[in-house]
Structure 1
Amino acid sequence: MSSDDPTARRRGRRPAGQDTRSVLIEAARAVFAENGYERATVRSIAARAGVDAAMVNHWFGGKEGLFAQAVLKLPFEPEELLAVLRDGPEEELGTRIARTFLTRWDGAGGETFQALVRSIAGHNAASSVLREFFSQFFARLLDDLGVDRPELRMALCASQLVGMGLIRYVAQFPPMMAAEVETLVTAVAPTLQRYLTGDIG
């Protein structure tokens, strides 16, 4: 068999220092981001990782388990995130939220967000992760503020952030992809601040 055969490369030993489990998670995140849960296959993920497809079952028990590790585990800790957002004046909370959202997802390459959004239609857990994150996370922030209609305020904030993420990371509109973080923060923060502490009618 030729050394150029991709199957031979997949079945061979991984180079020293490469962790098969981590490489599979990274490959899965990319494939789920491109195709969503339904269209992604174990074979395509394994090929991207350069390993035999049997390794997916070995490490994760199948596509579902791999999806949980690669996509449903968000790339930040809620407690640490809350501490960052609570550190500053109440009237600047919208600014901190917009900046933190963009810098964290930019830092993660946007792939986890892409994978979540593209998988919502075909995987109930993906929509549950987004919904539970926003409801639990914003419930604690809004409780600090003591404002009225906290559930509606949370949903409005989620619509702003998810919409911004959809255009920047999934639909990839060139102006949104090219815009500096601070440009977007300046544009979006006042709306978030109104949703959080202003009159929402």
Structure 2
Amino acid sequence: MASQYQVRADYDAETVVIYQAYSAAVADAALRAGRFVQPFSFNRMTWIKPSFLWLMHRSNWAQKPGQERVLAVRITREGWHEALGRAVLTTADPRAVDQAAVHVQWDPERSLRGAALNHYSIQVGVGRGLIREFADEWIVALTDITPQVRKIANLVRAGQSPKAQRLLPPERIYPVPQEIGRRLLIDS
């Protein structure tokens, strides 16, 4: 039986890709600066997601207001491990969740057409106390993948799912350190 709680991501030896959807104003400013700057909010939790299809479900393929631009954010694996290492499951004791620097929740992974699958996708909420570190130290590269998102969405709508599938970013099981994985329900 396939594991239900695994982190699936596009990664290499040094970095991991997470996805976020923003307004044009936030995306354009970030792309110009090569990191997140105003009008990005440093005063609230930011949710990072290594699952491309989950973000497509969440942003309705970059069509929801304020989520019209999709960025692939390549961060250091060190930063990713820092986030996971400081994370508390959102289903934990409410006091622990309130005090946590990072929140983790598991939501059903999505198919190309948005259907819920029988395994879960990790969502990582980086709290206000770590957002500057995320923006200034963890980010290696920002890439606007909105044109690719629109192309895939158009292929899906046109009934050309096999062509759309070939354009998806590669995602494979990410090796989360065992001590972190145990706390966050990640199957090894």
- Give the TM-score normalised by structure 2: 0.26
Q: Larger radius of gyration, structure 1 or 2?
A: 1
Of Structure 1 and Structure 2, the greater helix share is in 1
Of Structure 1 and Structure 2, the greater strand share is in 2
